[in-house]
C-alpha cells in the first residue's frame, strides 16, 4: 500500500514567498535561513509581541507581594 502525501504550500512569514511545507526544508515555515534569522532578530528586538491580558502582565515581574 502506498501512501500519497498532499503537498502543502505556505507563505514565508517574513517575505511572503510561497514555500513548500516539507521535511526537507530545514527552515520551514520560512523560505531561507536569512528569513528565519530576520524573524528571530525582530522578536529579540521586541518588534513582535503576543497579545496578552494586562491583568496578568506583572505576574512574573517580581512586583507582586505574595505575603
Cα–Cα dist 30/52, whole Å = 25
The answer to whether 31 is a known ligand-binding residue is yes
- The residues facing 11 across adjacent strands are 18
The answer to whether 35 is a known ligand-binding residue is yes
Instruction: For residue 30, count CB atoms less than 10 angstroms from its CB and return exposed for 0-12, middle for 13-18, buried for 19 or more.
Output: buried
The answer to whether 18 is a known ligand-binding residue is no
Annotated binding site for Zn(2+): 12, 15, 31, 35
Annotated binding site: 12, 15, 31, 35
Amino acid at each position: 500500500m502506498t501512501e500519497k502525501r498532499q503537498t502543502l504550500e505556505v507563505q514565508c512569514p517574513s517575505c511572503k514567498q510561497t514555500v513548500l511545507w516539507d521535511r526537507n526544508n530545514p527552515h520551514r515555515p520560512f523560505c531561507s535561513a536569512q528569513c528565519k534569522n530576520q524573524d528571530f532578530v525582530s522578536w529579540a528586538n521586541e518588534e513582535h509581541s503576543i497579545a496578552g491580558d494586562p491583568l496578568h502582565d506583572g505576574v512574573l515581574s517580581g512586583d507582586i507581594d505574595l505575603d
